[in-house]
Amino acid sequence: MKFYMTPGSCSTGIHILLEELELPFEVYLVNLMAGDQFKPEYLEINPKATIPALVLDDGSAITEFQAIAWWLARRYPQAKLLPDDIEGEVSVLETMNFVVNTIHGQGYTRIFTAPTYSANVIEHEAIQKRGREIVSNGFAVMDKVLADKGYVIGNFSIADAALFYVEFWADKIKLELPANCLAHYQRMQQRPVVRQVLMEEGYRL
């Protein structure tokens, strides 16, 4: 398989899952700042010009964090990255979608890419402030989900890989995490695979 990713981005969560599964794959770095995602050769793989992307052995590509994570969990069920019961699977998907679509998609995008919301520089501070509010509110929701549990559903799942990368971003921008989210972040950091991935992506622990 070929894995297209950017260090320290949402693709870090998929990187963690690939390593947890001990799968053989080739890494292709996509430099978002340099605009690699808009190059013709990458657009042939992912016309959305987003990361991550996973090209399978048959040449087909999966894009979108949730789709890749779900495919990995279903393709390799022995790793138990998804619960066996439908209620548990729905709970994992619900949490993962909230993290990716709301905390990341609505919150962090405002913090990191304010100019995409307004060309008026004067408005950027307000946009970023609103982004921080969305992220903080999202973590408040997740804090309740994590109450009395080490991981989202008690055991490590694809939802935890998603939650980790937004917690990682919070750490990098000095945004305080509520107690349960902080405990989850620290627990994730102690997983050998997570430590390996962060070091491979150039981060010191």
Same domain, 90 and 186: yes
**Which of 27, 55, 79 is a domain's end point?**
79
For residue range 117-161, what is the model confidence (pLDDT) as tens digits? 999 999 999 999 999 999 999 999 999 999 999 999 999 999 999
Is position 15 within any domain?
A: yes
- 74 and 170 in one domain? no
**Is the overall model pTM greater than 0.75, yes or no?**
yes
**Is 202 domain-assigned?**
no
Residue written as tokens 């917690």?
167
Q: Give dist(CA 34, CA 103) in Å, integer.
A: 25
* Phi, psi of 29, deg, nearest 5: -80, 135
Q: What is the pLDDT of residues 30-83, one digit of tens each?
A: 999 999 999 999 999 999 999 999 999 999 999 999 999 999 999 999 999 999
My answer on whether 103 and 124 are in the same domain is: yes
9: domain CATH number is 3.40.30.10
